[in-house]
Amino acid sequence: MLDYFEPPVRRVFPKGWRECSHWREPVCIGRYVVTCSSLFAGARAKTDGLLPPPDYGIYLAGQWREKLGDIWTNGATIRSVARERPYPALVIDWMDMAGMTPDKLNQLVEICRNKMRQGKSIDIGCLQGHGRSGTLLACLLARVEHLSAARAVEEVHWRYCQHAVETQSQQKAVEEYVRQYGIRRR
């Protein structure tokens, strides 16, 4: 289990964040494309069998275990995604709204980069696909494209969703990660 960076600090959400329905939504990271998913959106996805499953999942909320467990145990069907091939995934327990330590973020970023370099499609997800997923996306983007933390978060808002990176703790986690592990363009 991963450590928490610091207790979550809730921020005021802009209107509309609940209406988002991110399900295997493509996001450009350098010359790669990753997808982002909300577990909630997956449960009501109307795209059964239309979106191919990823080669690898990186899920930042423990609730994904149940969903993936269904895939693995049945080998075929989960609640809303019919007849999908099972795929391996890393599921971590990252508290909702909380930040994450730079070293743990670095581990996650490096797992993503390795898979991407191997040509594997990866899907990053949490519950809404905003806070935890947005935080990892911003770190990955900063690392791959050599961006500052502020620019990486801004780009995640443009390329993916304006509601991504939900709390001050998560914003701070991106800043700390970039300070320790980011490579700035000269």
With CB atoms as reference, the residue minimizing the distance to Zn ion is 20
Task: Report the site for Zn ion in 143-162 (rule: CB under 5 A).
Answer: 161
8 Å CB contact between 95 and 3:
no
Which residues does 181 contact at the CB level (< 8 Å), separation at least 6? Answer: 102, 105, 106, 109, 139, 143
Determine, following the binding rule CB under 5 A, whether residue 36 of this chain makes contact with Zn ion. no
Q: Total residues contacting Zn ion (rule CB under 5 A)?
A: 3
Token representation of residue 35: 């997808």
Write down the least CB distance from residue 161 to Zn ion, Å. 3
Write down the least CB distance from residue 137 to Zn ion, Å. 12
Nearer to Zn ion, 5 or 160 (CB): 160
Strand 56-59 and strand 122-126: the pairing is: parallel
Nearer to Zn ion, 25 or 176 (CB): 25
User: How many whole angstroms separate alpha carbon 69 and alpha carbon 121?
Assistant: 20
Write down the least CB distance from residue 128 to Zn ion, Å. 7
- Torsion angle of C-alpha atoms 57, 60, 66, 69, degrees rounded to 10: 30
Determine, following the binding rule CB under 5 A, whether residue 20 of this chain makes contact with Zn ion. yes
Nearer to Zn ion, 157 or 172 (CB): 157
Q: Which position among 115, 144, 163, 167 is part of the footprint of Zn ion (CB under 5 A)?
A: 163
Determine, following the binding rule CB under 5 A, whether residue 24 of this chain makes contact with Zn ion. no
User: How many whole angstroms separate alpha carbon 42 and alpha carbon 79?
Assistant: 9
Residues that bind Zn ion (CB under 5 A): 20, 161, 163
